[in-house]
A and B are shown apart, each in its own frame.
Chain A
Amino acid sequence: MTGFISPRLPLYASIAAAGLVAGLALGRVEPVALAAPFVLALVAAVAGREPRVAVRLSLDRERAVEGDEITATIELSSEHTVDRFELLVPLPPGLTVEKGRAQALRLRGGEERTLELTLRCERWGAFAVGPLLVRARDALGLRSWEGEACVAQMLRVYPSEETLRSLVAPLETQVFAGNQVSRARAEGIEFADLREWQPGDRVRRVNWRATALRGSLWVNEQYPERNTDVVLFLDTFAEVRAQGRSTNDRAVRAAATLARGYLQRKDRVGLVGFGGFISWLLPETGMRQLYAIVDTLLTSDIVHSYALRDVDVLPPRTLPPKALVLAITPLLDDRTGKALLDLRARGYDLIVVEVSPLELLEPDPAAAARLSHRLWRLSREALRWRYEQVGVPVVTWRDGVPLAASLEEVNAFRHLARPA
């Protein structure tokens, strides 16, 4: 710890010195008497010694969900008595503490003290709690020792998830077994249609009732259950942030929700963070992939960049053929708009979930500002129209509206859709 002295200490020293010198110069005792208490204060300050305090910080868990409360335990012990020990818990913006973030207490020699703080996780993210800022002071506050104590503890706060009743079904499925009923006909459970028997058809597929009615062999056709590849395409070029809310926060929440939903259906889910900093995860299935996706989402902050980017910068396996690409974007950056149109041109089954920034923007009452705001909204409408012209459904997810409602819009749009 680094030692500091109070500004009073040099003041008292100078007063004491001046009193003693004045006593000699004037040949009087009063200046010396005036200096005596200040000399004593100096001696009292110098008599203090640097404390040796052991500080240990621990969290009751390493992972939490937005809105959860975490208990942070601080254990303190000191060899010698510390008259006043102050500690401050520096917290990142996503964590808050109701009270007790800064505390002052007395530590007796050999005594162990335990403090508990309740941290509230206000926002998702990967946070470091600590190191603590500590300060020990003598009884009069004339000398102090400051420093950092204990090792920072990592805390991962996962985004809270929306409740989904159904997911968007992709137009095409993959070859492996899964929970999605394929549009293609093959061996499966769901009845699809009847057709005339052909050489090679199994006897068990013969529909005897239809055969008896028509006088020739007819067989059942089924829809097979297959898995799908889903790529969550997260636009991290820009965001709108106001009143503690942001489009990126909601986009991450939507991505986490969709990842869990599709992975529960045994689909393979991948992630592309497309912005100033590009990140990706190849499509995989299982719980491990869910944690990988959510951990990646925790670091998906907005990084401003002027670099031109398109989908060519992504590794080819990131976007497997016939994958459903769910783009979650506030539609604020032209580069994302172009990249999504490029994906559509390459034949990907693309859905755009527009995280609406309009609720976070209050148009300036000035006439020119209102006009520019209107023009900006019109340009967004034009972009949406361009997507719809190439067969890409665009749904707007407004603040306060469940994500499920927006996904139902997509399902309605795609009810009769066929692969392009």
Chain B
Amino acid sequence: MAAAGALAAYGGVVADTLARAGSAASILAPVAGLGVVALVLALAWDGRGLAAALWLGGGAYLAFVVDRGHRIDATAPLVAVLLLLSGELTAWSLDERWRMRAEPALAWRRGLAVAALALVGLTAATVVLALSAAPADHGLAWTVAGAAAAVAAAGTGIWVARR
């Protein structure tokens, strides 16, 4: 089930990108197709194609965004979360193949954790997108908020590096 979910999430990214790519779809389709193949290989074997799949899927989407021009693409948070979900569900699918007697509650807890990560990720990406719409000269409050965000990001980076 997790493998089907991973394929569905990745298929969502590819479909969204190609459906709106217009004339660029013929160029992006082989890239996205390679990504699908890499994901299938990752699911069939030991997950080694996952990195290629995520890079190809993300790369195809970015190429579409660049090709699209200066308009902000509102589906970017959804694409990001779908890419993350395809990675997490692939890993979950591979983990489930171990011959191990596991408590049923573990599957529920992992499902909740993945769902929570996806929701928080979607919110964060949406907030990033929404904040970018604010004009640069919108007042002192925005400037302070931006500085605080920069400090928080740097602090998080340092904390991650120290752990």
Q: Do A and B assemble together?
A: yes
Given the complex, which residues of A lie within 8 Å of B19, measured CB to CB? none
Given contacts A103-B101, A104-B101, A11 and B61 within 8 Å (CB-CB):
no
Q: How large is the interface on A (under 10, 10 to 19, 20 to 34, 35 or more residues)?
A: 35 or more
Q: How large is the interface on B (under 10, 10 to 19, 20 to 34, 35 or more residues)?
A: 35 or more
Given the complex, which residues of A lie within 8 Å of B103, measured CB to CB? 104-106
Given the complex, which residues of A lie within 8 Å of B88, measured CB to CB? 8, 41, 140
B81 contacts the other chain (CB 8 A): yes
Given the complex, which residues of B lie within 8 Å of A38, measured CB to CB? 80, 84, 121
Given contacts A30-B76, A37-B81, A46-B163, A103 and B100 within 8 Å (CB-CB):
yes
Per-residue A-contact encoding for B82-102, CB less than 8 Å = 1, 0 else: 011001100110010011111
A189 contacts the other chain (CB 8 A): no
Given the complex, which residues of B lie within 8 Å of A84, measured CB to CB? 106, 109-110
Q: What separation, in Å, do the CA atoms of A8 and B101 have in the docked complex? A: 24
Q: What separation, in Å, do the CA atoms of A99 and B99 have in the docked complex? A: 10
Given the complex, which residues of B lie within 8 Å of A64, measured CB to CB? none
Chain A interface, >50% SS class = helix
A1 contacts the other chain (CB 8 A): no
Task: Find out whether the CB atom of B98 lies under 8 angstroms from the CB atom of A102.
Answer: yes
* A104 (CB) vs chain B CBs: closest residue: B102
User: Within the complex, what minimum Cβ distance (angstroms) separates A122 from chain B?
Assistant: 20
Given the complex, which residues of B lie within 8 Å of A86, measured CB to CB? 100
Task: Find out whether the CB atom of A40 lies under 8 angstroms from the CB atom of B62.
Answer: no
Given the complex, which residues of B lie within 8 Å of A99, measured CB to CB? 101
A110 contacts the other chain (CB 8 A): no
Task: Find out whether the CB atom of B91 lies under 8 angstroms from the CB atom of A37.
Answer: no
Given contacts A6-B91, A30-B62, A46-B160, A139 and B121 within 8 Å (CB-CB):
no
- Beyond the given A12-B84, A26-B66, please list 14 additional residue pairs across the A-B interface where CB-CB is below 8 A: A7-B47, A8-B88, A11-B50, A15-B55, A31-B62, A32-B128, A34-B79, A36-B124, A37-B124, A103-B100, A103-B101, A104-B101, A140-B110, A140-B114
Across the A-B interface, give the 7 residue pairs with the lowest CB-CB distance, nearest first. Answer: A37-B121, A29-B132, A139-B113, A104-B102, A33-B76, A30-B76, A33-B125
Q: List 6 A-B contacts (CB under 8 A).
A: A15-B54, A15-B83, A33-B80, A33-B129, A37-B121, A46-B163
